[in-house]
Amino acid sequence: MTDYVAATRVFYDAIAEDYSAHFRSVGAGRPLERAVMAAFAEFVRSSAGGGGQVADLGCGPGRVTAYLDSLGLSVFGLDLSASMLAVARRENPGLRFEQGSMLELDLADGSLGGVVAWYSTIHTPDERLPALFGEFLRVLAPGGYLLLGFQVGDEPRHLDQPFGHPVSMDFLRRRPDPIAGLLTDAGFTLVSQTVREADEEVGESSPQAFLMARRP
Ligand SMILES: C[S@@+](CC[C@H](N)C(=O)[O-])C[C@H]1O[C@@H](n2cnc3c(N)ncnc32)[C@H](O)[C@@H]1O
């Protein structure tokens, strides 16, 4: 396991309970987030594979996993952090959650109808993104869909001692166009790029991007 993956796991193990409590009221997000997820669910259900399994990679406490389940998708969550997974299992007893890294998925080629990486690629360094997107493509069946969510910007946001815990982490912000370019370089067909402005009322400091792509 590389240093940044281990550091990410330590960070989220420390903050899992507080992170979950903080985001509980947000649910799967605001109207645009829910609209994008609804479109993703419809695409997956009507795709060539007839709507195979969906993996919520970097699922954290499982709030998005639960929302995708409520949209009728057959979904499971995967995360690095044992503490996040403990919260996810406790709060969503009917759903399946597994531990692992999305950089090396223990899944067969072409075995999924959809992949969601909702604010979970934000700790993967730029130089590892081509390999990560290649891994997403590998596990998707032809006609399967990928959905990414991430903060928009050029500079990382450094978080020190969140919720009073003695840990710190960089949150990488990115521009949608270069990410879309990396997705097409990896072999995806781009479906949509949605960007909404920062909602300052809830303390956001950057716009948010939601990219959808399809394995041809
Ligand atoms: C900002 S949280 C987002 C959690 C969830 N998707 C949500 O929207 O609430 C990022 C999550 O991604 C997970 N993560 C980061 N890198 C990962 C990797 N390489 N493999 C699996 N999980 C990862 C972290 O452990 C953490 O739970």
DSSP string over 155-194: SPEEEESGGG-S-EEEE--B-HHHHHHHHHHHTPEEEEEE
| Nearest Cα residue to atom 26 of ligand 1 | 60
Amino acid at 109: D
Residue 25 has pLDDT above 80, yes or no: no
Q: How far apart are CA 132 and CA 181, in angstroms?
A: 14
Q: Which atom of ligand 1 is nearest to the CA of 149?
A: 8
- List the domains of the chain with CATH numbers: 3-214 (3.40.50.150)
Q: Tokens at residue 83, please?
A: 């503490």
Residue 59 Cβ inside 6 Å of ligand 1? The answer reads yes
What gap in Å lies between CA 36 and CA 211, rounded to an integer? 9
d(CA 135, CA 106) in angstroms, rounded, equals 11
For the stretch 142-191, pLDDT in tens is 999 999 999 999 999 998 999 999 999 989 999 999 999 999 999 999 99
